Structures are given as structure tokens and as C-alpha cells.
């Protein structure tokens, strides 16, 4: 529960119309949070919310394109009036472009489009929502990263995507430092290789397994970790 109120915590999940983000919405709502399912396309958000409603799970929807500062600003304004606050932010939206190219062949534009969504999109979304968390003295931020972004094991796989996730992890460290002792906890999560449009049909994990560590980090107690990188609820190397 929100520390200063009896109302449920409000969670905003980006890129939640399908895949892991949709499942995070399901699990957070099942845990009693008030969930805002966001997507860059209103129709997709509506369809996803209907899908959850069929299972008795109630979420609200919000249009949010993380690559558009206008869209982020509009979402922050909308949510301020509709739900009054965001306590939990799961930065899940991401793209995987030029997966098979090597770093010398990947067009610069593919790096730019990847960084726009996977890095700058997260920074801009945090800049819109985290200051109010700090003011209220409570917040949980989960940056959905990837084992592909681990510097300790990085190889030649998907250069634009992998480098973007390493940069995202660096942002996690920066934001954790900026929010130290404010009640806001910030962590990176690796969902593992998950069966989604991005992960493909051969991935070993279900969306439910992939969402587990993200939901755990989104609902950490006040003495939980900050500035870490987690997989299967355990810290992993950067
Ligand atoms: P997915 O099925 O491809 O879903 C990606 C989601 O991000 C979609 O809802 C997509 O919306 C949304 N998105 C993309 N660009 C956006 C933007 N500019 N604004 C708002 N939403 C945007 O991917 P997933 O497998 O669920 O991945 C979710 C997260 O887990 C990502 O951060 C990914 O990097 C990470 N991850 C996944 C795996 C895996 O094996 N699946 C492994 C490691 C990490 P549209 O439908 O509009 O395109």
C-alpha cells in the first residue's frame, strides 16, 4: 500500500499492449495495484485491456509513445488528472532492430531508432514521472533490460539493441544515484529469453516467467535494493 494513503499503488507500464509488458500489467493488477496499461496506439491499448478484462482483470489505458516528448508530456498531464500519481514505473517498451547485422554494418539510423526507444525513451519517461515520486517520497522504477546488455558477457549479437541495453543499465545507475535516500528504488531487470514477438516462438520462457522479476522489483519493500541488475530475483553482473 501507498505509505501515506489507503489507496492502492498506481503502476504505469510502457509498451504494454503485448508480450512481457501485458503480462506485467496482469501480474501487478493481480497483486492489487491500480494499473495503467500504456501503448503507443490507442486501439492496441484498448484491445489489450479487453483481453485482460476477459480474465477479470481491470486496468485503465493510456496512449504513450516513448519516442515522443509530446506524447510523454501529454500522458503525464492525463495521468495527473485521471489517477493523480504514478508510484511505480515499468519501462518495458523497446525495439529490436538489425538483430543480425554486425557492429560495422549496422546503419547509424538503426542505432538512432533503437536508442530513441530503448534509452532516450526511458530517460524522458523517467524525467516526466520520477520527480513527483521523489516529492512524495515513494517510487519504484524498473528498467527492462536484457542479458544482451551485460558488458561482462557481451559478444557480437544485435549491436544496436545490446549497446542500447548497456546504456540503459548505465542510466539505472545514474537514476539510482540521483534518487538515493528519497524512497525511490531503481533497478534493471533481465526477463530472460521469453516467447513474445521479440523473443520468438523458440524461447524457453513463458511471459509469466519473464514478468516475474520485473513485478518483484516493481513491488519491492522500502528496504529493497536500488541501482542493481537482476535476473530470476538475483543480482547479476553488469
Ligand atoms: P515485444 O513483444 O516486441 O513488445 C514490445 C512492446 O514495446 C510492444 O508493446 C511495442 O508496441 C512497444 N513499443 C515499441 N516501441 C514503442 C514506443 N516508441 N512507445 C511505446 N511502446 C513501444 O517485446 P517483449 O519481448 O515483450 O519485450 C519487452 C521488454 O523485454 C523489452 O524491453 C525487451 O527488450 C525486453 N526483453 C525481452 C526478451 C525476450 O526474449 N522477449 C529478452 C530480454 C529482454 P507496438 O505493438 O506498438 O509495436
* Tens-digit pLDDT string for the chain (238 aa): 455 566 899 999 999 999 999 999 999 999 999 999 999 999 999 999 999 999 999 999 999 999 999 999 999 999 999 998 999 999 999 999 999 999 999 999 999 999 999 999 999 999 999 999 999 999 999 999 999 999 999 999 999 999 999 999 999 999 999 999 999 999 999 999 999 999 999 999 999 999 999 999 999 999 999 999 999 999 999 9
Ranges of beta strands (E only) in 20-74 are 34-39, 60-63
Read off φ and ψ for residue 146, nearest 5 degrees. Answer: -165, 155
The protein residue whose alpha carbon is closest to atom 36 in ligand 1 is 146
Quote the ligand 1 centre to 3 CA distance (angstroms). 31
Residue 147 alpha carbon, nearest atom of ligand 1: 43
Q: Is 10-235 a CATH 3.90.1200.10 domain? A: no
Pocket test for ligand 1, best of 44, 93, 207 (most atoms within 8 A of CB): 93
Read off φ and ψ for residue 235, nearest 5 degrees. Answer: -65, 145
Quote the ligand 1 centre to 118 CA distance (angstroms). 9
Quote the ligand 1 centre to 145 CA distance (angstroms). 11
Quote the ligand 1 centre to 4 CA distance (angstroms). 33
CA atoms within 13 A on the CB side of 34: 16
The pLDDT, as a whole number, for residue 1 is 43
The protein residue whose alpha carbon is closest to atom 29 in ligand 1 is 92
Rounded Cα gap, residues 213 and 220, in angstroms? 10
The protein residue whose alpha carbon is closest to atom 23 in ligand 1 is 198
The pLDDT, as a whole number, for residue 72 is 98
Q: Are 186 and 175 in contact (CB under 8 A)?
A: yes
Pocket test for ligand 1, best of 48, 94, 210, 217 (most atoms within 8 A of CB): 94
Is 161 an annotated catalytic residue?
yes
Pocket lining for ligand 1, CB < 6 angstroms: 14-15, 17-21, 39-41, 44, 65-67, 92-95, 117, 121, 144, 146, 191, 193-194, 196-199, 203
How far, CA to CA in Å, does 54 sit from each of 27, 44, 130? 15, 16, 32
Residue 67 alpha carbon, nearest atom of ligand 1: 18
Which residue from 151, 163, 159 is spatially nearest to 104, judged by alpha carbons? 159
The protein residue whose alpha carbon is closest to atom 3 in ligand 1 is 198
Amino acid at each position: 500500500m501507498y505509505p501515506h494513503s489507503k489507496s492502492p499503488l498506481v503502476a504505469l507500464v510502457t509498451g504494454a499492449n503485448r508480450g512481457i509488458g501485458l503480462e506485467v500489467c496482469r501480474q501487478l493488477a493481480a497483486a492489487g495495484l491500480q494499473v495503467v496499461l500504456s501503448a503507443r496506439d490507442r486501439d492496441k491499448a484498448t484491445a489489450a485491456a479487453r483481453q485482460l478484462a476477459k480474465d477479470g482483470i481491470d486496468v485503465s489505458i493510456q496512449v504513450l509513445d516513448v519516442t515522443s516528448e509530446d506524447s510523454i508530456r501529454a500522458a503525464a498531464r492525463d495521468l495527473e488528472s485521471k489517477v493523480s500519481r504514478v508510484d511505480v514505473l515499468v519501462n518495458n517498451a523497446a525495439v529490436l532492430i538489425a538483430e543480425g547485422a554486425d557492429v560495422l554494418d549496422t546503419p547509424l539510423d538503426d542505432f538512432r531508432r533503437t536508442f530513441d526507444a530503448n534509452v532516450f525513451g526511458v530517460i524522458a519517461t523517467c524525467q516526466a514521472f520520477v520527480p513527483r515520486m521523489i516529492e512524495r517520497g515513494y517510487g519504484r522504477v524498473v528498467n527492462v533490460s536484457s542479458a544482451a546488455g551485460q558488458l561482462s558477457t557481451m559478444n557480437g549479437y544485435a549491436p544496436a539493441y545490446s549497446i542500447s541495453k548497456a546504456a540503459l543499465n548505465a542510466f539505472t545507475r545514474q537514476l539510482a544515484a540521483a534518487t538515493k535516500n528519497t524512497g525511490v528504488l531503481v533497478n534493471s531487470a533481465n526477463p530472460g529469453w521469453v516467447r513474445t514477438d521479440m523473443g520468438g516462438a523458440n524461447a524457453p520462457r513463458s511471459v509469466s516467467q519473464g514478468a516475474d522479476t520485473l513485478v518483484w522489483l516493481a513491488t519491492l519493500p522500502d528496504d529493497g535494493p536500488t541501482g542493481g541488475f537482476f535476473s530470476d530475483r538475483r543480482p547479476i553482473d553488469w
